[in-house]
Structure 1
Amino acid sequence: MEVSLCILLVLLHFNEGIHGLRFTKNPSNQTVTQGNMARLGCAFKGLSEPEIIWLKDGEKIYSTDQMYITLDAHHWETFYSVKSVQQQDAGKYWCEVEYYGRIISSEPAWITVEGVPHFVVEPEDVAAFAGEPFNLTCAASGPPEPVEVLWWLGGEQKGDFMPSPLVLFVKGVNDSIKFYCEAKNARGISVSRTGTVHIKVCPDYPQDVKVHHASDLNITLTWSPGFTGHSQLSTCTIQVSKGPGKKVKLPDVDVVVPPFQHVFEGLSSYSNYSVRIRCDNEVGSSPFSPWVGFHTPEAAPSAAPKNFTFELSEQQLTLSWAALEQEELRGRLLAYKVQWNQGGESQDPLLFKDNVARLSGAGRFFNATFQVAACTMAGCGPWSQPVLVMPVSAMQAQTLRGHMWVGLLFSLLVATMVGLLLIVLVRNRGKETQFGSAFAASGTDVPVSFTAARSFNRQFPEPPESTLDSLGINSDLKAKLQDVLISERLLTLGRMLGKGEFGSVREAFLKSENNSGQKVAVKVLKTDINSSSDIEQCLKEAAYMKDFHHPNVIELIGVSLHRRAQQRIPIPMVILPFMKHGDLHTFLLMSRLGDEPFTLSQQILIQFMLDIARGMEYLSSKKIIHRDLAARNCMLNENMSVCVADFGLSKKIYSGDYYRQGSVSKLPVKWIALESLADNVYTTQSDVWAFGVTMWEIMTRGQTPYPGVENSEIYEYLIKGERLKQPPDCPADIYEIMHSCWSPVPKCRPSFQRLIDQLELLWAKLNPAPVKEPLLYVNLEEEDGEQASGLVTETGTHNSEELSWGVPWQCAGIEEDEKDWLMVSSGAALAIGGDYRYIINPHGSGIDDENRHSDDGLSEDIRDEEEDVNINV
């Protein structure tokens, strides 16, 4: 009864918690013209750190544009924006929050997209037999409705506009022909893709027939289909023959395709083979491909030499054995290896070309054992049975002694078994006597005592402090972090500041040994990450930061290890300075899209750029390539100074001039330099490219780079000479600086020191007012948690030197092949387009030849950004 009452109280308490959680704002229905912007909003009340998920038609939406704004301590608002609405964005949207396994949903809203018709079913290529009838289908929809469709076949209009969908019946054609359809509504006319009717024929023979040696007895055969005859290939036939001269044809092998490969097993080693292939579709078979020959590799012999005998004379010992057959040898014989043992010690092995060995000094081989094995290039085969060398008379005497020893050993075995039986009987009798005295009848005073084999402590003591040894990381990394290891008991975690795929960042209080303390930020790896490699990658970032000492680069305070119940590996926590104003990207977005937008002067924006450039110049001097520079990875401290942070993709380099990535990684492609996208090469100059993109982010107050360009289209966009456009409020001199960072030739980009000089001249030219410039903050808390308005003063030294700008993408002293690359990728050809004024008579200041470096072999960290795509290396 009491248990039932407790369960009832828990359920009532839980229901009260659920009833207190609710959406105070729901998304609203919107009808948007194609190409315009749509923005949806939700507000949730009742949790201090809710994770509000957006869904479209039941699928979660992942976007870096989602913002969270605090309305009060337990009241949050979030927005989801679509910058340029297309037909695929139409659908049903709502928000969800999960609380103890229960889902709380907002009211749904619909985005309806108006525009010219979009095709629901678009014409696809058709393959048909000559003269065979077939159907073509085209369907389009609005809004607005109604939508009518018209067919074009072979350049001729077929009928008139009819309501969508529309099926065109074609009686049959004898040659290839093109077709497409048009769709119209009140907004205009759309034209579908152009399809082709192909006539099915027999396929062509396979191409690129290649043999890959998987092992000594197995090979993998791969090939590529030739022209398929506009019909899917179903099977391929493989013919194999064996032998160097008169070939022996093996049975044909039929393989279902795709994939276009086959593994042959049970082939003979060190043998010649030839192979050819043909493939079939529903029309017929292709011709056979040309014969491709291959030779199977050698293998170690599969058998030991047989008939191993010896002859012993006064002068020499002669050993002989039978030669192996070629099937047993499985390669080219290098030698026969003879090993022998004398007095229990192995002697140096001997090698013989023939199957006979003659050894002088017969007396020294008495009582020695010999074995022989055949060897090829792939190794030696099994050993023969050992042979004991002794005179004939000794062998006869040994045989006689052998019989005597067998009898003696048998007698000894029988005596041993009888002795063991007697010992067991005596011990059992002793035990009966012992227990009879210990448990005597009542009234006798016989003490029985014992000593415990193990004592138990029923108290559960606090587990010992975790150490770096428990993480399974390499010794170099462990030694580097040993002096920055901080005890977990000195750390008190607070509210969450942000989270990602691999962990979260939390506000925390770090107490020192003298009981003083400071507010810090702690990066905590997710609790479900148990891989030593993931943990080691997290700590490598901390190892980089340990050596950083610069006002514009975030510094490491320490590393702590969080103990986990029933887990062998503790969770690493990286302790960093607390950055009051968060990351630069969010701060820029708040200035433009927050509930109380505020103005950021050009002087403040340039100061942000200067701070980043100074931090990056320091990193390059420490031989560090950042590889992930962006506004989201720059932090703002309480003095409004920017610190470069997040070194998860950084590389320490020691020699050479570049780092080349060698794995499949997810990287932020909209910030990556052209040569890094093309060749996976990263240098200080590729960091300069990313700095130019970060400047663009700052001038646009946090907009996403390349609006309207998909991640997969970035490389083609850049190789044509296209670059980020000049923002509306961006002065020409600032845009020229960022544009110079995007030269297609890496060494034509300015160094970070050059960028600092240019930005300092720009900053001084703005003539800052003598009084401090006020700047209002939104939702920025003081240490005591109260909202406050802060004053930011951006000061600098006036410099009378005039600004000196080089025209972007001009470069003195470059090689001729680099000039060609500069012209082509800058858009010199009119067919490519672009502004080619910059490549006529190249001139400008000398190149600041920065040191560029290569990797020291540290492993990759794979960052999961919403702006990332996979780059296959």
Structure 2
Amino acid sequence: MEMKGSMAIPRLLWLGLWAAVLRDVAAAAGMKFTGSPIKLKVSQGQPVKLNCSLEGMEDPEMLWIKDGAVVQSVDQVYIPVDEEHWIGFLSLKSVERTDSGKYWCQVENGGKKEESQQVWLIVEGVPYFTVEPEDVSVSPNAPFHMACAAVGPPEPVTIVWWMGDSRVGLPDISPSILNVSGINQSTVFSCEAHNVKGLSSSRTATVQIKAMPLPPLNVTVSQVTSSNASVVWVPGFDGRSPLHSCTLQVAESPEGREVSMEVAPVPPFAYDVQDLKHSTNYSVRVRCSNEMGSSPFTDRVYFQTLELAPSSTPQNIHIIQKEPGLILEWEGVAPDVLKESVLGYRLEWIQDNVTQGEMIVQETKANLTMWNPLKDLIIRVCVLNSAGCGPWSELFLLEAQEVVGGQRQPPYGTSWVPVALGILTALVTAVALALILLRKRRKETRFGHAFGSVVGRGDPAVHFRAARSFNREGPELIEATLESVGISDELKTKLKDVLIQEQQFTLGRMLGKGEFGSVREALLKLDDGSFQKVAVKMLKADIFTSTDIEEFLREAACMKEFDHPHVTKLIGVSLRSRPKGRLPIPMVILPFMKHGDLHAFLLMSRIGENPFNLPVQTLLKFMIDIASGMEYLSSKNFIHRDLAARNCMLDENMNVSVADFGLSKKIYSGDYYRQGCASKLPVKWLALESLADNLYTTQSDVLRSHVQMLAS
């Protein structure tokens, strides 16, 4: 009994499902759209209401379709007539031509789509233009034609042409072509399209008359050499016809004799004139042409070709030793030999197959200071004028092994003059030695007779030895050591391992100087025998005491602790010996910075002899470099107290390093430093708390950097 009862429920469910399916099938079989296909013609701007009737379905989801796409209009209404009879309405309030097309209704029932009969909607109105007259340029009195076309519905559409305010020709069925025999002045054309609904007017087209062009503008001559010149110009009014070429007339000045007539296709509006004579005055003028003819020539523009590069070569190059550098000499080229005006001589020197430098001099000699005496030196010279450098002289080689005993010997074989001087010097030296020996021999003989008996009796002979030798060239120098400058033991300990002997570097040209000292370029000899270009900062010779030396070297000791790409790193310190009784000159050796301090570099970019533009990205990089260096100093518990653009150095790769730590202080406890006594301070951009309370922190460094960057 329980089994039978449990199976009764599924049976009832199946019967219910089958009943629902049978009802849907019966409803689908009885569902249909009523009505017949119709065609509607309405005037443009009129309202239209379309409808479709559906029977045999409860609560349908009815869609309106136009030309296969669902209509998205909100003006759709579905009204029930009875339980299974519905009417759908689509309202179009003001029809346009785009509303024309086929419309129908669609419903979905049981996975199948049912569609109603189609309604064709035709929107009639005034003609619609598909082709309108266009602006053109024509030759005077030359025939041309214009086109115009329009469509309905309703058709047909008739075209009427207008020239200015007058009708032209007879009405024509669209599309229409208007043939014009020619005009001699600018004229406007338009067309009208007519049908039973009314007329439409086209745009107004302007027909311009072609003319000869006007002369070009802004003729300029650039990139002038001894035989070529580049001419550039701006085209003038083209006469409403494209330019096809421009003509350049080149003539010698002031005679005005024509040299050439060059025809240049355009664009571009530029031409390179070639095969000109050097050092000659020329003029050029330009005209341009179109299909109607050529413009007048422009005014003449004058220019002069450059000289030819010199053809002469300097001869008999030789080098004479002169401390602290080398003097290079050669035989100058006689003025009557040169046809060109000489600006001077260009000198170039090479070591390790790399050009180390060059210079331009007015005379026939030059002083070389920056070179490595332990490597072969190759030198060459040429004559220089405005056109460039003439032929280089033969390479002059000065071999490294010619350095003997710290003195450079003249290069024999390059000229008979040094050879003769050497021989003469040797002869004079030999004669002098012979005379000295002869005189000494005579003295020994004379005194030997006088003291012979004394020596023979065994009495002590008299011997004389000078107690002191004297140098007549200058006062005696004392050896400069850290112990001889009067600095504290603490500072001696810090600087002991960075002390560099004076003999290891050679001072060069002055890079800059101030109230208390100067900076000079130098070559530092490294352990491997190579040389490094450095900058040497030193106190002035006559204004310092042991206290000044202490403060000066404390800056070096401060820098010794730094190791950051944007903080100047100490290379070493040195002491320059002076005569006895005078303190040695302290020197701090730093990396060489090609572009100097940032303040001078920024000024030079704006108001120098050759100003240049610094991109915003470069200026931003400068600030980032400085901020990175200052952040490093802050992490090391250092406050700078004198951050300024003048104290930031710029190397050859445009990297900025913070420098000049003369006022820097290390904070051993706390996060600030208070100035205890009066001293010279850069007050111009100091932070307010530093001015008021002698209080210095990393924050006051930050404020100073901001103000300084804005000022620079």
TM-score by length of 1: 0.27
Higher Rg of the two aligned structures: 2
Q: Which has the higher contact order (CA 8 A, sep 6+)?
A: 1
Q: Normalising by the residue count of structure 2, what TM-score does the alignment of the two structures yield?
A: 0.32
Structure (1 or 2) with the greater strand fraction: 2
